[in-house]
A and B are shown apart, each in its own frame.
Chain A
């Protein structure tokens, strides 16, 4: 009898741990992998560089490629900027920008001053494309595989370590 009572806390915490483990697993699915192996969403927006040029999903070419969500108000984006420039300069992979809820003028000036790692940037003023991608902040980076499906989504700055761990294996 005594013995049984003494195992009660153990049983209780066993259940708690199992439950938390389960909810975490769920969370994993929700946040980062919802779009994995899905097509990049359709969109119709102008580019940052040319307000008259309207592009869509089909204009993201030469896959595999990265789509990097950035903005001038996003300070952490400056942290990953040198690395993105190096990816461009070493012709590692094509990078398309997704300029998120930003001012066109400010964004262009920033690219001019700091360097432009992007082939072009999609100008998503209202965040509609970002919304479809499930983006909720900047910076975020997506990798679209050679087959046209989204392979990776990373929230936060793209650093060499992250590149190595999550992205590099999709280059052929």
Chain B
């Protein structure tokens, strides 16, 4: 009964979104304005329909309603309630409802943030968002219905959630990521609405900027969380693998960053209209493409959802409709060369231009590397190839350096031209001091220098000097510290976050230590001056698994730390997983993964020391915080 209600609610949402999809355009054509009065109630109603539908799905999971195919395939009576709740979005069908719910939430937030909705621009935006919701709802209902019944053949027990997914971080990672992905539909809709209602002057940019930023912030959190999860769950100490699904999130992230920066220029100077329009379309395209890649089976990866070409075709159709559609509108527009302001090579505008370029080219290169295996296979009729991490790692360096350099000085460039270059010497001095300080610390910690770490520390120093230190110092001197900081608090957080991110990556890539070896009880190994001793190993039973639990003691001069690593065998599926033992400190992580029983009591281990690895996620967190501060600040001021 309840699932049927959920199903009906979704169908109702389909109808409502359909109406919402077409009405604004009728009005646009007939130049009437009556539809605008019901945009607000429409958005709320749509959201509530999808929300309650989603609730019925959650309910079905919590009560173990295995008569629903989706519940039976993704849950189990033994699963703790929290994971049953999260299993709702654990697989394809449920995750689509979550996606759609997120879009409808963005729509409500947008509509209610506007003081007045009685204009063509807002109503067309509403129309396009409704179209996106409609597209996803029809995709869900036709090919991926979570309310499909197994009746009357319901099993007594369900399947299970993959053990490696039964984890807190993994459960909040999808909602955050989907808020980010789906959020990009809003800048997209705003851009298309601007084109359709002849509003491509700067006001649409001012409206769009905080929403782009907010989506990007969610994406940052989602990606950061995914990386952190992969680190402790997969047992290899890696935190990024350039896996197609990771790239599918990273590319929209890069483009959304270019987008909101470009929107600054469009808003403040009326320039870069084409860039901003195209980036709005491109970021949503990247988001849809990412969704497509993950669910269609065209690319395979560690996290791909069920391989289903039929569904892939449907998503491709949605992609084609929105992206090709919006680009057709774009190419049909009349672009009169409106008087444009002049800017020279030292200007903020030029800096933002380079920023746009670097980010977009990087994003395209990453997408190219990700899609290359399919291209190659098609071109050579069957030859298979893989593009591994070295391609991406090699490529990202020059871009990171270019972007980092820009980030240090961006604040000081003037619109049109920079007249005052005094900042150069100031920032250079501040950066040098920081740089020397960091490298002394690094040398004390690791006893050697490494070119990647030096470059990373240079970027860190440069960015922190230009985005934090200098502001503090000047603020102090002018006795206006508070004003200086609060005016650009979001930017300070976000840019400083990037600095920490870069430094963390540079250090962990350069100074990590690793050793794979066999140890018997009582044996120890010295890694970078820390003694890792295999104390003992015991057999233990967990709720749905049995485990071999190894205890390792790590000693440096004074302290001893204890670490546990397990090898688990899940009874139902006979699957083996490794639980790594991790001790996190500010400057490093100790990381031990239990291998297998080599002989008698001897076990293989992978011992690692990962310096500064937490700085990566700390940096990501700062970036997200900065984005939230800035975007929510703009929204409060009113757009």
Contacts and interface: CB of A to CB of B under 8 A. Distances in A.
Are A and B close enough to touch in the complex, i.e. CB under 8 Å? yes
Given A78-B159, A82-B155, A159-B69, A14 B324 contact: yes
A103 B378 CA distance: 41
Nearest to A7: B331
A160 B150 contact: yes
A86 B153 CA distance: 7
B574 A10 contact: no
Contact of A75 (B149, B296, B309, B572): B572
A51 interface: no
Contact of B153 (A13, A24, A83): A83
Interface string A56-94: 000000000000000001111011111101100000000
Nearest to A2: B335
Contacts of A25: 309
A25 to B, nearest CB: 8
B297 interface: yes
Interface stretch (A15-23, A38-46, A118-126): A15-23
Contacts of B316: 17, 20-21, 24
Given A13-B323, A23-B377, 20 more contacts: A3-B331, A9-B327, A9-B330, A10-B324, A10-B328, A17-B320, A19-B375, A20-B316, A27-B296, A27-B312, A31-B309, A73-B572, A75-B159, A76-B73, A79-B66, A79-B158, A86-B153, A157-B69, A159-B69, A159-B150
A17 to B, nearest CB: 5
Interface of A: 2-3, 6-7, 9-10, 13-14, 17, 19-28, 31, 73-76, 78-83, 85-86, 156-157, 159-161
Interface in B217-235: none
A67 B278 CA distance: 52
Contacts of B73: 76, 79, 157
B330 A6 contact: yes
Interface in B65-90: 66, 69, 72-73, 76
B157 interface: yes
Contacts of B337: 2
Contacts of B72: 79, 157
Contacts of A26: 378
A74 B119 CA distance: 57
Contacts of A81: 155
B442 interface: no
A69 to B, nearest CB: 16
A-B residue pairs, 7 tightest by C-beta: A82-B153, A83-B153, A10-B327, A7-B331, A79-B72, A28-B309, A75-B159
B285 A27 contact: no
Interface centre among B73, B148, B297, B309 (most CB of A within 10 A): B309
Nearest to A30: B309
19 contacts: A6-B333, A9-B278, A10-B324, A10-B330, A17-B319, A19-B378, A23-B374, A24-B313, A24-B316, A74-B573, A75-B572, A76-B73, A78-B158, A79-B73, A83-B150, A85-B153, A160-B149, A160-B151, A160-B153
A17 B318 CA distance: 11
A83 B156 CA distance: 12
B540 interface: no
Interface in B299-328: 306-307, 309-310, 312-313, 316, 319-320, 323-324, 327-328
Contact of B157 (A27, A78, A160): A78
A86 B154 CA distance: 11
Nearest to B332: A6
Nearest to B292: A20
A160 B152 CA distance: 9
A156 B306 CA distance: 9
B160 A75 contact: yes
B298 interface: yes
A8 B397 CA distance: 29
Nearest to A74: B573
A97 B218 CA distance: 47
Contacts of B159: 75-76, 78-79
Contacts of B149: 160-161
B531 to A, nearest CB: 40
Contacts of B310: 28
Contact of A20 (B152, B274, B298, B331): B298
Nearest to B312: A24
A78 to B, nearest CB: 5
Interface centre among B149, B337, B573 (most CB of A within 10 A): B573
A161 B72 CA distance: 14
Contacts of A19: 375, 378
A97 to B, nearest CB: 17
Nearest to A82: B153
B232 to A, nearest CB: 25
B405 to A, nearest CB: 28
A82 B157 CA distance: 11
Contacts of A9: 278, 281-282, 327, 330-331
Contacts of A74: 573
A68 B560 CA distance: 55
Contact of A13 (B148, B313, B324, B335): B324
A63 B599 CA distance: 52
A157 to B, nearest CB: 6
Nearest to A10: B327
Interface in B152-173: 152-155, 157-160
Given A3-B331, A159-B69, A75 B154 contact: no
A1 to B, nearest CB: 11
A135 to B, nearest CB: 14
Given A6-B330, A9-B278, A24 B296 contact: yes
Contacts of B375: 19
A21 B313 contact: yes
A82 B149 CA distance: 13
A90 B543 CA distance: 38
A125 B190 CA distance: 58
B307 A31 contact: yes
B393 to A, nearest CB: 25
B573 A17 contact: no
B324 A17 contact: yes
A155 B520 CA distance: 45
A144 to B, nearest CB: 22
A19 B368 CA distance: 13
Nearest to B307: A31
A85 B306 CA distance: 26
A28 B158 CA distance: 29
Given A6-B331, A22-B378, A31-B297, A161 B69 contact: yes
Nearest to B330: A6
A79 B155 contact: yes
Contact of A73 (B150, B157, B298, B573): B573
Contacts of B158: 78-79
B331 A79 contact: no
B324 to A, nearest CB: 6
Contacts of A31: 297, 307, 309
